[in-house]
Amino acid sequence: MTASPRALAPLRSAAYRRLALSLALSLVANGSWAVTAVWQVVALGGGPAELSLVTGASAVGTLAMALPGGVLADRVPQRSLLAVVTLLSAVPVGLAACLSLAGALPLPVLAATGLLGGVALGLHYPAYSALVPALLPPEQLLAANGLEGAMRPLLYQVTGPALAGLLVAAASPGAALLATAAASLAALGCVLGLPRLPVHRAAGGPAHPARALLADLREGFAFLLRTRWLLATLLFGSLMLLVTTGPLQVLTPFVLRERAGGGPVDHAVVLAGFGVGGALSALAVASRPLPRRYLTATTALWAAGCLPLAVLGVATSVPVVVGAAVLAGAGIHGGMTIWGTLLQRRVPPALLGRVSSLDFVVSGALVPVSVAAAGPLGEAVGLPAVFLVAGLVPPALAAVTLVVARLPADERAHPLDRPVPEPEGTS
């Protein structure tokens, strides 16, 4: 499938091309780190506990900075924030690479590197999300989100890990760490080429930094709670991830091994199928106008992406599992492409950083619970039952969300086929 001219329209902007290239390099770096960290821990003589320390430190850094990152994205020029983020990604990894190549890298330093990388990730998402609509006209935001939706799985899940694996095998984890740092530094060069843009902020507010931070957080939460379409969709997304993430991440390898006769290579193919399906779907959505019934389309795509999971629990061949993964990736990433556009079109620019961080935190709040519960549930009730719930509960929740939150009426009252979105906060 090739992208249509509509899907590629944002690339006509030189500033957006630089931003997109910086994102692409950052995705490659993050994907490379995910694989390199594993083999660096192994090279240091560590096992699952040590790897959990490194990956857990990264997760803690991301969660700790997600909400403050949203506040900063609404207070600080996003170009400056992204420059700090790329430095925070590149410098610690570069130092860890030098220590690794010298044979002097201790595990605590690797864990600290993971922590700082997680902090950078928590800062990156709201700053990037707030900057895109400042560089592009509203009618090109869907296409931009489609391009990002295509890049993310292909670069983060396929290209970055593949390059890291090749470098680790051919040289060492230190060499892969050095390449990871180089990718982040290249992303910094792209960010520094972006234009300086003003920050959209309302006048006034507390002068004390701590009180200003709390006031900004309260303002973001207040907007979320009073904006019905946003709150309802985020709650649906959080519940959807609760019933699907654990089965996908924890139980899919056991489906392959116990029912389909597959192994690690087949698992990699399944993950690639999910990413490829998502990339193709993101491009397909970006190649068309934003749906008139955009809230309905988003929830319907997410629900449709969950339905194939019901097949996984009873699948007895690898091709069936791969096919289900492709369809699941297509539905979920297609919905995400529209969803990112809705935030950029319907959230006031002065609040976009905070709302983007709340989107990240609220939607992912129950993911650790899902991952922790999947294994015991799979043993207690069996794989077919867990995947049946994962496939059928989200469509039912989607229907309830559409009706109870009156999303069809909301999207009719706020059409997005006009050049400039109207400020809101009372819907």
Asked if 193 and 18 count as a contact pair (C-beta separation under 8 A), the reply is: yes
3-class SS of residue 288: coil
Whole-angstrom distance, CA of residue 59 vs CA of residue 117: 9
Residues 223 and 145 in one domain: no
Q: Give the residue from 236, 219, 226, 184 showing the smallest Cα distance to 357.
A: 219
Q: What is the CA radius of gyration of the chain?
A: 21
Domain count, the chain: 2
At 154 the pLDDT is 83
| Contact (CB, 8 A) for 226 and 426 | yes
- Pairwise CA distance, residues 234 & 300, whole Å: 14
Beta carbons of 125 and 360 less than 8 angstroms apart? yes
**Identity at 87, one-letter amino acid code:** L
Instruction: List C-alpha distances in Å: 297 to 94, 267, 332.
Output: 43, 30, 11
Q: Are residues 186 and 221 in the same domain?
A: no
- Tokens found for residue 208: 């004390």
The letter for the amino acid at 131 is: L
DSSP per residue over 25-86, as a string? HHHHHHHHHHHHHHHHHHHTT--HHHHHHHHHHHHHHHHHHHHHHHHHHHHS-HHHHHHHHH
Residue bearing tokens 């706020």: 414
Both structure tokens of 283: 């491009």
Contact predicate 398/303, CB 8 Å = yes
In a domain, 426, yes or no: no
Do 162 and 220 lie in a common domain?
no
Block residue for tokens 């699952």 = 48
pLDDT of residue 426: 42
Closest CA to 38 of 112, 114, 99: 114
192, two tokens = 């520094």
Alpha-carbon torsion (178, 180, 183, 187), positive or negative: negative
In a domain, 423, yes or no: no
Q: Are residues 226 and 133 in the same domain?
A: no
Tell me whether residue 245 is in a domain.
yes
The CATH number assigned to the domain holding 58 equals: 1.20.1250.20
φ/ψ (deg, to 5) at 131:
-80, -35
- Both 188 and 261 in a single domain? no
Query: Among residues 157, 192, 227, which one ends one of the domains?
Result: 192
Structure confidence at residue 199 (pLDDT): 66
Domain check: are 154 and 232 in the same one?
Answer: no
Same domain, 143 and 230: no
Question: Domain of 238?
Answer: 208-418
Q: Is residue 219 part of a domain?
A: yes
Q: Is residue 268 one of the residues assigned to a domain?
A: yes
**Contacts of 188 by beta carbon, 8 Å cutoff, 6+ apart:** 22, 83, 86, 87, 90
Classified as helix, coil or strand, 323 is: helix
121 in the same domain as 167: yes
- Write down the pTM of the prediction: 0.76
CB proximity list for 99: less than 8 A, separation 6 or greater? 105, 106, 109, 174
C-alpha span between 185 and 285 (Å, rounded): 32
Say whether both 111 and 212 belong to one domain.
Answer: no
279, 414 in Cβ contact below 8 A?
Answer: no
What are the pLDDT tens digits along the chain (427 aa)? 455 666 677 778 888 899 999 999 999 999 889 888 888 988 898 876 787 788 778 878 888 888 888 888 888 888 888 999 999 999 999 999 999 999 999 999 999 999 999 899 888 888 888 888 888 888 888 888 888 888 887 888 778 888 888 898 888 999 999 999 999 999 999 999 988 876 655 444 444 456 777 888 888 889 999 999 999 999 999 999 999 988 887 788 788 878 788 776 787 788 788 888 988 998 899 888 889 999 999 999 999 999 999 998 888 888 999 999 999 999 999 999 999 899 988 998 888 888 888 888 888 888 878 877 888 888 889 889 999 999 999 999 999 999 999 999 999 999 986 544 444 444 4
163 and 217 share one domain: no
Sign of CA dihedral 12, 15, 20, 21: positive
